[in-house]
Every structure is written in structure tokens, then in C-alpha cells.
């Protein structure tokens, strides 16, 4: 276990370093001058040059890169070029919003997707199965932001059940009010995905000999399905849900924009359009870190789901 963890963490560092270098290089190649974007279109060349010196952008690129690495190793991600606030603060300000939305959506996706997937597998090639497969196909092919606008139109404008601006905090009621539609819009998409994976994993398990044996021994069908079949189908479901969590974090940008919620996605798009080099670099580290961490956690979860898995 310890050796496994050490190896994985070492690999994670290599991944982080490569991503950082890549992001640094791409940002510098991209046309667009942060100083000019900060000062606006009436600023004189002189003022722009003065700001470039203050931001350290007048230095040769290798010097900038060296300084960037030294700072990164010290855990200092610098300050955002645009807002002047520390990158860490900028990210921490909105990170809880993104994590919260992703987790609730994933929970919703699992809560809907796993039972539906099992149900479809058990009723294979019956109308329930067809209906669930059709619905999940629709859910997968439907762009999340279109669904988001439809949800807003129906539930916020026509029925007036929820607010359009889904970013209220405070009471539990306010929280559920503003979480419902965004989580539903992302969660339905996740559910569609998880349904399909669950269905095929459970179908495969159901065709195994031990299922027939269990049924022959007279174990109730409910127990056979939920414990024997689903238990053995757990690994692919966990893998996909874990992978999907990182996709959710990345994909939340459109949901954040449509539902007017703060979040990492919006921060990264803003940083990109403003050429906020420092903020983008800091965020890339966090994203990479999140993906690496989620993968590691789902690997570890295998051990709990399947006693045959060892970490050697």
C-alpha cells in the first residue's frame, strides 16, 4: 500500500510539472497582451510598457519560466495580474461552489443512474429497458446548457419555483433553492452516463455462473441482484463515476454561466480572455491536482469494493 502510494504520488508530480510547463509555454505563445487588456483601449504605449515592467512581462521568457518554477516550488502562486488578489484566494473563493455542485450532481447521478441501470438490466429487452435506454441516450446527447435554459424557462419563469440566479447562500432553504436546477441539469447528464454503465456491468454479472448457483440455492432474487450482481459490477461503476467527477468539474463552466453561479469554470474562462497568466497557471495546477487525486481515490476505492484487489 505504501509503495503503491509513493509511486502514484511521484507520478502525480511528473504530471503536474508537465502540465505546468505546457500551460506556461502555450500562454506565452498565444497572442494578446495582459497589460494592454488591463489598461484598456485608450491607454498609451508608455503606460502599457510601464505595466509590463511591473508585471515582469518585459523579462525574457526563460527568465520568467525560471522564476515561475521557483515560486511554484515554494508553493507561491503569485497574484492575479488582473485583480491583484492572490491566486490562491481567487481560487479558494469559488472552489467550494464548484466542489459542492459537482458532488451534488454526482450524487444525483448515482442515485438515479444505478437503480435505473439495474432495473433496465433485470428487465432486459422489455419495454422498461427500452424506455430507460432511450432516455439515457437522449440525456447523453442533449447539451447540458440547452437543458439548463429549458429548466430555467419551465421552473423559474413559468412555474416560479426556483430563482434564475442560482447563487444564494445562508439558510438551508436558500441553498436547496439555488442548488436544485444546476444540480439537476448536470446530474441528469451524469445519470444518463451512469445508467448505461450500470446496465451493461450488471448484465455481464447476471450471466455469471455464481448468479445461477445463488438462484438455484433459493436466494431471493432481490438479494441476488443487489448484493451478488451489483456487488460484482461495482468496479466499472466506481471507475466511471470517479472519472465523471473530474469531467463534471471541468464541464461545469456552462452550467455556472447559465445559472449565474460562481465557480472555477468561470474563473478559468475569464482568466483566459484577460490573459491572466498567473491565475491560469495556478488554476491549471489545481485542476491537474484534482484529476490526479480523483483517479487515485477511485483506485483506492477498488480495494474496498473488491477484496481481490491488492496494492502492490
Partner 1 sequence: MKKLIGAICCAAGLMFVGAAHADNKTLVIGMGSADAGKLDPHIASTTPDKGLLQYIFNGLVRLKPGQISPATIEPDLAESWAADPSGLEWTFHIRQGVQCHWGYGEFTAEDAAYSLKRAANKATSSYSNDFSSIASADPVDKYTLKITLKHPVAGFLGYVANINGGNMVCKKAAEEMGDGFSKKPIGTGPFMFAEYQPQQFVRLVANKQYFRGAPQLDEIMYRYIPSDSSRDLAFQSGELDMIYGKQDQSWVDRTKQLPGVKVVAMEPGELSTLFLNITRKPLDDIRVREAIAYAIDRKAIVAFKGAGSSREAVSVVPSGYLGTDEHAPLFPYDPVKAKQLLTEAGYPDGVTIKTIHTTLTGMETFIEAVQAQLKKSGINLDIQLVEHATYHSQIRKDLSPLVHYQAARFPIADVYLTQFYDSASIVGTPTAVTNFSHCNVADADIRAARGETDPVKQKEDWTRAQTEIIKAVCGVPVYEQLQLWAWKDTLDLGYDLKGSLNLAPPVTENTHFTQ
**Binding region for partner 1 (CB under 8 A):** 30-33, 36-47, 50, 54, 82-85, 90, 93-94, 111, 115, 119, 149, 152-153, 156-157, 160-165, 167-168, 173-174, 176-177, 180, 257-263, 266-267, 269-270, 273-275
30 versus 293: smaller Cβ distance to partner 1: 30
The 3-state secondary structure of 44-63 reads CHHHHHHHHHHHCCCCCHHH
Q: Which is nearer to partner 1, 164 or 235 (by Cβ)?
A: 164
At its nearest, how many Å lie between partner 1 and the CB of residue 3?
Answer: 42
- In the bound state with partner 1, the residue whose beta carbon lies nearer, of 160 and 217, is 160
Q: Which grid cell is 43? A: 491607454
Whose Cβ is closer to partner 1: residue 117's or residue 242's?
Answer: 117
Cβ distance to partner 1 smaller for residue 242 or 263: 263
Q: Which residues contact 114 (CB under 8 A, 6 or more apart)?
A: 194, 195, 198, 230, 237
Rounded to a whole number of angstroms, the CA Rg of the chain reads: 24
Length of the chain: 312
We find the least distance from the C-beta atom of residue 32 to partner 1, in angstroms, to be: 4
Gap between the Cα atoms of 98 and 288, Å rounded:
15
Shortest separation between residue 26's beta carbon and partner 1, angstroms: 13
Least spacing, CB of residue 30 vs partner 1, in Å: 7
| Residue 42: CB minimum distance to partner 1, A | 6
The cell for 36 is 494592454
Beta carbons within 8 Å of 185's beta carbon, 6+ residues apart: 144, 147, 148, 151, 255, 258, 259
Q: Which is nearer to partner 1, 46 or 209 (CB)?
A: 46
- Closest approach of Cβ 243 to partner 1, in Å? 25
Rounded to a whole number of angstroms, the minimum distance from the CB of residue 149 to partner 1 is: 6
Identify which of residues 115 and 250 has a Cβ nearer to partner 1 in the complex: 115
| Closest distance of CB 122 from partner 1, Å | 11
How far apart CA 162 and CA 154 sit, in angstroms, is: 10
Please report, for residues 97, 99, 107, 166, the alpha-carbon distance to residue 94 in angstroms, rounded to integers and kept in the order given.
5, 9, 20, 14
Residue 19 C-alpha cell reads as 502540465
Closer CB to partner 1, residue 8 or residue 168?
Answer: 168
Can you state the angle between helices 127-141 and 172-206, rounded to 10 degrees? Answer: 120
CB of 212 to partner 1, least distance (A): 24
Burial letters 129-142, b for 16+ CB under 10 A, else e: beebbebbeebeee
* Whole-Å CA distances, 99 to 223, 246, 286, 305: 34, 10, 12, 24
Nearer Cβ to partner 1, position 187 or 242? 187
Closest CA to 68 of 41, 87, 42, 47: 87
Amino acid at each position: 500500500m505504501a509503495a503503491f502510494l509513493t509511486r502514484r504520488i511521484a507520478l502525480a508530480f511528473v504530471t503536474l510539472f508537465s502540465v505546468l510547463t505546457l500551460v506556461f509555454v502555450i500562454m506565452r505563445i498565444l497572442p494578446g497582451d495582459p497589460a494592454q487588456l488591463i489598461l484598456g483601449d485608450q491607454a498609451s504605449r508608455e503606460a502599457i510598457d510601464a505595466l509590463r515592467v511591473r508585471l515582469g512581462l518585459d523579462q525574457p521568457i526563460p527568465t520568467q519560466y525560471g522564476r515561475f518554477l521557483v515560486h511554484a516550488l515554494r508553493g507561491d502562486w503569485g497574484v492575479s495580474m488582473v485583480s491583484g488578489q492572490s491566486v490562491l484566494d481567487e481560487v479558494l473563493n469559488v472552489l467550494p461552489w464548484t466542489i459542492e455542485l459537482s458532488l451534488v450532481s454526482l450524487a444525483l447521478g448515482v442515485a438515479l443512474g444505478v437503480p435505473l441501470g439495474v432495473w433496465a438490466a433485470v428487465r432486459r429487452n422489455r419495454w422498461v429497458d427500452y424506455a430507460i435506454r432511450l432516455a439515457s441516450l437522449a440525456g447523453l446527447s442533449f447539451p447540458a446548457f440547452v437543458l439548463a435554459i429549458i429548466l430555467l424557462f419551465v421552473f423559474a419563469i413559468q412555474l416560479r419555483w426556483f430563482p434564475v440566479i442560482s447563487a444564494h447562500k445562508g439558510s438551508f432553504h436558500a441553498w436547496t433553492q439555488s442548488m436544485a436546477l444546476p444540480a439537476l441539469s448536470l446530474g441528469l447528464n451524469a445519470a444518463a452516463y451512469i445508467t448505461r454503465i450500470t446496465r451493461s456491468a450488471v448484465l455481464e454479472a447476471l450471466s455469471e455462473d455464481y448468479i445461477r448457483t445463488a438462484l438455484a440455492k433459493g436466494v431471493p432474487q432481490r438479494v441476488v441482484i443487489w448484493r451478488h450482481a451489483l456487488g460484482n459490477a461495482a468496479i466499472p461503476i466506481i471507475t466511471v463515476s470517479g472519472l465523471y467527477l473530474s469531467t463534471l468539474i471541468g464541464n461545469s463552466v456552462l452550467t455556472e454561466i447559465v445559472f449565474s453561479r460562481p465557480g472555477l469554470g468561470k474563473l478559468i474562462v475569464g482568466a483566459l480572455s484577460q490573459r491572466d497568466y498567473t491565475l491560469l497557471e495556478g488554476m491549471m495546477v489545481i485542476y491537474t491536482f484534482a484529476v490526479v487525486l480523483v483517479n487515485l481515490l477511485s483506485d483506492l476505492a477498488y480495494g474496498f469494493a473488491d477484496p481481490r484487489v491488492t496494492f502492490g
